[in-house]
Amino acid sequence: MYKAPFITFEGGEGSGKSTQVEILYKELLQSGVDVVSYREPGGTKGAEEIRHLLMEGDGDRWTSRTEALLMSAARADLVQKRIIPQLEGGSWVLCDRFADSTTAYQGYGHKLGKEQIEALNFFTIDTLKPSLTFVFQISAELGLQRAALRRTGIDRFHRYDLDFHQRVEKGYDDILKNNPDRCVGINALQDIDLISKQIFEEVRKRFAI
Ligand code: TMP
């Protein structure tokens, strides 16, 4: 549909996906690919402002629905102002989290329901769909432990309990199962180098670089 691939990275807390977005971004640049990289929520001035609203404060600062709407508001800004124009212009786009995060965190984690979130996602991004999504798989317990070791401050999402994060984990399992063509599972317990090789191989295979 667009001239260039749109690749997203998904997974629970502490799954190591952000490191891999950075590695792939550098590898693509070195291969001469025109590529941009974003993290969600964020990526535009307005979306970064919304990120602060979402990440700071107490767990109960927002209701679940408000949280879903704020995530979507940030995404709508990024999609309209950056992602679509860049894909249309032929630039590859990498994104650390996208609409699957809203399905997993707000749909499963907060139990807002898969259908409700699908409707919200459709309103937010219309027919834009990632060409490829890497889903990093790690148990919620281990992921939270890894995130705690790395973290400097505590964000709102780490204040949610283990049950919440286990529902997110189940959400990602279902996303992976239900989208076998688009999604590739990554065992997040492997070495960083092994994971980056797997990712680069998959990207090369699909997009012939
Ligand atoms: P991260 O930068 O560590 O990935 O933090 C973003 C946090 O926001 C993470 O805890 C997941 C959460 N999130 C959602 O709950 N829903 C969403 O749609 C997105 C994009 C992120």
Distance, in Å, from the CA atom of 31 to the CA atom of 35, rounded to the nearest integer, reads 10
Distance, in Å, from the CA atom of 170 to the CA atom of 143, rounded to the nearest integer, reads 14
Task: Evaluate: CB of 40 within 6 angstroms of ligand 1.
Answer: yes
Task: Evaluate: CB of 39 within 6 angstroms of ligand 1.
Answer: yes
Domain boundaries, the chain: 6-207
pLDDT range class, residue 2, cuts 50, 70, 90: confident
Query: CB neighbours of 18 closer than 8 A, spacing ≥ 6?
Result: 9, 39, 96
Q: What is the pLDDT of residues 155-207, one digit of tens each?
A: 898 889 999 999 999 999 999 999 999 999 999 999 999 999 999 999 999 99
The top-level CATH class assigned to 6-207 is: alpha beta
Burial grade of 16 (CB within 10 A; 0-12, 13-18, 19 or more): buried
CA-closest residue to ligand 1 atom 10: 157
Q: What is the pLDDT of residues 91-114, one digit of tens each?
A: 999 999 999 999 999 999 999 998
Q: Is the pLDDT of residue 83 over 80?
A: yes
